[in-house]
Each structure stands twice: as C-alpha cells, then as structure tokens.
Amino acid sequence: MTARSAGALASLVVLSAIAIAGCSGFYEIPIETPIQPKMDVTGFQRVLVAGFIGGGTEDVDANLETVRLLRSQLRTKSPLRVIEADVLPLAEIAVEQNRENREHAASGPVAPSSDGVQPVAPLPPAPTPQPAATPAAADPKESRIKNDKDLQKYDKIFADAAYWKKLGEEYQNPLIVTGTVLFTPHQTAGFVTTNREVYDSFGRRSVIPVRTYQERKGFVLEPRFIFIDGRTGATLYSEKFHEEVLYNAQQNTPALSSYFELMDRLMPSFLSTLSAQKIRGTRVLLK
C-alpha cells in the first residue's frame, strides 16, 4: 500500500468516526417489501384444496396432512374463501380411472352393419380350465408410491379436464388446488464443517471450524402444486419444490415434525401464487 493510499484510508476512517460520534445513536425501522402474486385469481371467490397423490414414507399421510395445512394457511392469508370438503383419495380415483380406460379400450367399438342395425359383439372363447391354485397375497409394498417414477403413473388425472370441471360444478366453480407430494427418508454420509470451542493455556476461549466425517439422516420433501380452473377443468399454473433436512444419525426426529418443518420453508412461495405477500425486515437509520 502506498503512502497516499494509506493517508486516504486513514482520513476516511477519521471522517467516519466523526460522523458516528456526531450522531446520538441509531435506530431500526421495520420495512415491508410487497411481492406480487404469480396468478390472477380475481375471477374466483372460493378455493378448494381437493387432495393430493402422496407417496414416500408411511409414517406421514402426505395427502391428508398437506390438505389440512394448506387450508389452514389459506383461511388467514388468502382473499379466497376456503371450501370445507372431504379430502379426495386422489390416488385411488386415478387408479380407478386407469382401469376403466383400459377396459373401454379392450372392448373396442363395434361397427354397425349395412342395414344400420348394431351387431351383437361375439362372445369371447371359453377359457381353458386350469388347476385350482391358492392365490398369493398381494404385497402392499408393491403398490406404494416410492419415487417420481411411480408418481408419473398417476399424471393423467391432472389432464382430465372433464373430471375437474365436474368437480368444480359441485362447488360453484372454485379455484382447485391439487398435485403430488413425495416425502421420503434420506440418508447420507460425508465430511461436514462444525464449530468447536477450544481454550488456550490462559483459559481464553475461541471457536475454530473443524471438518469431521458424519453419518446423517433426514427427509426430502418434493411437492408439486397444480392450480386448476374449476369452471373449465384446465390447468392454470403448476410449480414444484424441493426441500430437505438432515440430522445427526443419533438424533431421533419424528417424521411428522420434519414434514411440517420443510413445509414451513416453502409456504411463503405457495401463498405468493394466490395473493400478494410482504417480506418483513428492518433498516438501520442514524440519528
């Protein structure tokens, strides 16, 4: 550093000290920064949090807990009136729709005859008799939704505009909130940086960063919120989130507690989709 630079820096420090000394103190004032909503919901008066296709751990009913939480938040932080209705078992409804579609496709249309009379479809051939066997019990784990690949099997229900329009007619054409929620256990191991207190020979305390190898466990939350127009059944907006939390391997944290912790992180982003939100902070002013 040159003598000129050192002199300029010293002058700046002196001037700053004089300015601070001249002030009797400082104070903080609260400020709010508005965030505009991602969607225009002025055409709706009601909102229906219908249900979700949930998966992951069996310790948390992702469908039920997500509906309860979103309804609770929207009652106080949204201009729309929340509709109280039974939570839809959306995964079961999607499975039933897929089964009906397969049966309809398998039957196929029957072409009419030249005289306009609809012919009777021929009966299928009689099955070959098979020796009786004891049916194997279905493994409930095989039908569980474990990952994104499993969720993709249910995506068709969100594109079924006729279904959502019919549901909207039952509740006076509200904005419908639905989607998927994947809440899965997660484990990892590796080096992490932690702070350790040390004392020297004179008893003076200091904190130093230390890298240690740790095994940690936690949960990953991946919700996808889909907003559907109850008047037409069309999808208006969709957004996916990813949050995760890790704890020490010896720490026993309930799954439901971790679920609410992760949902709390993304709740402001969800609410900002429907209504204007405010970020609160403070600004320091000198007297």
Q: pLDDT (tens digit, 9 = 90+) per residue, 148-177? A: 888 888 999 999 999 999 999 999 999 999
Nearest CA to 42 among 285, 249, 236? 236
pLDDT for position 28: 75
DSSP 258: H
Class of residue 37 by CB neighbours under 10 A (exposed 0-12, middle 13-18, buried 19+): middle
In angstroms, the CA 188 to CA 287 distance is 51
Class of residue 126 by CB neighbours under 10 A (exposed 0-12, middle 13-18, buried 19+): exposed
70: left (phi over 0), alpha (psi -120 to 50) or beta: alpha
pLDDT for position 141: 42
Total-model pTM:
0.68
Nearest CA to 178 among 168, 192, 169, 193? 168
Give me the sign of the Cα torsion angle 52, 238, 74, 49.
negative
Q: Which of 240-256 are b and which e, b meaning 16 or more Cβ less than 10 Å from the residue's Cβ?
A: ebebebbeeeeeeeeee
Find out whether 180 and 153 touch, Cβ atoms under 8 Å: no
DSSP 155: G
Residues of the chain falling short of pLDDT 70? 1-27, 32-35, 107-143, 190-191, 276-281, 284, 286-287
How many Å from the N-terminal Cα to the C-terminal Cα in the chain?
35
